[in-house]
Amino acid sequence: MAKQDKPLSLAKEATGPESEFMKEIPYYLPLDEAISLALQHKLPCQVENIALDDAHQRILAEDLRSKVNDPPFDNSAMDGFAVQFNDTEQAPTTLDIVAVSQAAAGDENLSITSGQAVRIMTGAPIPSGADAIIPIEACSIHHNQVTLNQPSKPHFIRKCGENISENEVGLKKGTYLTPQAISMCATMGYATIPVIQRLKIGIISTGDELKPPGTDLAYGEIYESNSYGISGLIKMLGHTPIRYPAVHDSIEALREQFNIAANECDLFITSGGVSMGEWDYVRKLMETEGNLVFWRVKIRPGSPPLFGHWNDTPMFGLPGNPVSSHVVFRMLVTPYLRGSIGTTYPQDQIVHARLRSKVRSTTDCLTLRRVTLKSTPDGFTADQPKHQGSGNIDSLSSADGLTLLKPGQSGDVGEQIEVLLL
């Protein structure tokens, strides 16, 4: 029988790790094990060449070696005069001005001898024979002579190749292309660069109670918000989100949407329906018709996520509570995407902070409570100003970081803890 034709009764029978369908599925894993297991199923990534103007927030697909030396020649770091250092160790010293060197009009044959100086602009080539630059503010000019009012220093000359040498790797594969990285590409001589093709990542929210923002709510209904937050997280990673309409609590409707997403996307993510309830159809459908790799992870909040394949397309099932959905994406989906495409972006920023309020920890899970941070002369302090219910997205939107309390670690006032910056 084809996958899509399996009866609903099978889904209803598979309710947890005790079911026949779950006996061989890794269950309730530590976070690092879940990440490692997911990364055994990396996404295939394609490479495309794009213009620098289109490269912002893309991921470099190959090491880039510089086509040139930077700088390509010795040049001045200051507006002033190119001189011979031995002429200028004592001040004041008066020299003859014999030429001008400009950044856009270099003369390969320009040179000086003892007693001479060349007026030079920032970025202009250093004349042959010169080995020092006197800043313009340290000079007095009278007709064709310049008086140096202070002793010279052998500074202010940028040496050929001191930033990067020809054929040296300037940017490594996996680099997230910031404006400064794109400028580096241009400096190395690249008009186009190879990047990882943006992944298409589908987002499916589930639940009869979900309504689009801006519509009227009936009693018992709520606005669907998770897909918008997940979409933003995907964009921050440099990929393309595809938000699908929320799916009602129906095996048939969910199966249909899974088929669409698997066909159109490289990866898709669901929100809701992954726990142990009667209406948690995402889990039930994956148990009976999908290829489930693991279910549940030892983190709080957000312990129910699952990972598997639907029609050979990888998928993550995230919890439906807004905080849990965001936290699981950050802790599980982000490292999976990082590992799949071979980048370190975004790097986790972790600080140490002293607790100003007690944080409830757990004995078996990594505890990820939302905290605000304050910088003090003695370092950061962390406070938990809002209630920590996983449905309280305000507690996340106003937070600076997540606690990284290891299983069994105390969250008492005064304790020094690690905090993952949001």
Quick one: pLDDT at residue 104? 63
Three-state secondary-structure class, residue 210? strand
Indicate the length of the chain as a whole number: 422
Domains in the chain, ordered, with CATH?
3-46+197-341 (3.40.980.10), 49-67+166-196 (3.90.105.10), 75-158 (2.170.190.11), 350-421 (2.40.340.10)
Residues whose CB is less than 8 angstroms from the CB of residue 60 and which lie 6 or more positions away in sequence, other chains included? 171, 172, 173, 174, 175, 176, 177, 181, 193, 194, 195, 196
Quick one: pLDDT at residue 13? 40
Residue in the block written with tokens 């297991």: 37
Cβ atoms 197, 76 nearer than 8 A: no
DSSP 141: E
Burial 341-356 (b: 16+ CB within 10 A, else e): bebebeeeeebebbbe
Q: Average pLDDT for consecutive 10-residue bins of the chain (422 residues)? A: 34 45 82 97 95 95 97 93 90 92 73 94 93 92 91 85 97 95 98 97 95 94 95 94 95 97 98 85 95 97 96 97 96 97 92 94 94 95 87 91 94 95 96
Helix 31-38 and helix 334-341, axial crossing angle in degrees, nearest 10: 40
Strands 200-205, 80-83: pairing is unpaired
Quick one: pLDDT at residue 19? 53
CA–CA dist 87, 114 (Å, integer): 7
As a dihedral over the C-alpha atoms of residue 151, residue 153, residue 154, residue 156, rounded to 10 degrees, the angle is -120
Please tell me the pTM assigned to this model.
0.83
Residue of 201, 168, 169 whose CA lies nearest to 341 = 201
As a dihedral over the C-alpha atoms of residue 340, residue 344, residue 345, residue 350, rounded to 10 degrees, the angle is 130
**Distances in whole angstroms, Cα of residue 223 to Cα of each of 208, 233, 244:** 11, 19, 15
181-188: long-range pairs with CB below 8 Å, 24+: 181/60, 182/52, 182/55, 182/56, 185/52, 185/55, 185/64, 186/52, 187/66, 187/70, 187/163, 188/64, 188/65, 188/66, 188/67, 188/68, 188/70, 188/164
